[in-house]
Amino acid sequence: MDSNVDPIVTVDPEVLGGTPVFAGTRVPIQTLVAHLKCGDSLETFLTDFPSVSKQQVDAFLDQTLESAMENAADAHSS
């Protein structure tokens, strides 16, 4: 992993007891997932949590999709 790339998600025991949050915020990534599962739009989430940028959400979703695709490929090749 490139150390010059800003993290999307951080885990710090000093921030919400180590709950994964969007970097530079106190907004748990689970909050985004909960909003989407309830049918809320991305715009609603971003309005409700203005400390999280659209770029952060897009990067998180891209990274999550990439990881899911890699896991599926690994499971298929086993």
**Domain range holding 52?**
9-77
7 to 42, 46, 72, 77: CA distances (angstroms): 20, 19, 24, 30
pLDDT (tens digit, 0 to 9) for every residue of the chain, 78 residues total? Answer: 445 567 899 999 999 999 999 999 999 999 999 999 999 999 999 999 999 999 999 999 999 999 998 888 878 776
Pairwise CA distance, residues 42 & 33, whole Å: 10
Mapped onto helix, strand or coil, the DSSP state of residue 10 is strand
Domain presence at residue 14: yes
Is residue 2 domain-resident? no
Which CATH number characterizes residue 53's domain? 1.10.10.10
Q: How many domains does one find in the chain?
A: 1
Evaluate whether residue 4 is within a structural domain.
no
Considering the entire predicted model, what is its pTM?
Answer: 0.81
Separate counts of helices (H) and strands (E) for the chain: 3, 2
Answer whether residue 3 is part of any domain.
no
What is the model's pLDDT at position 78? 65
pLDDT of residue 8: 93
21, part of any domain: yes
Q: Is residue 56 part of a domain?
A: yes
DSSP letters of 17-30? GG--EETTSS-BHH
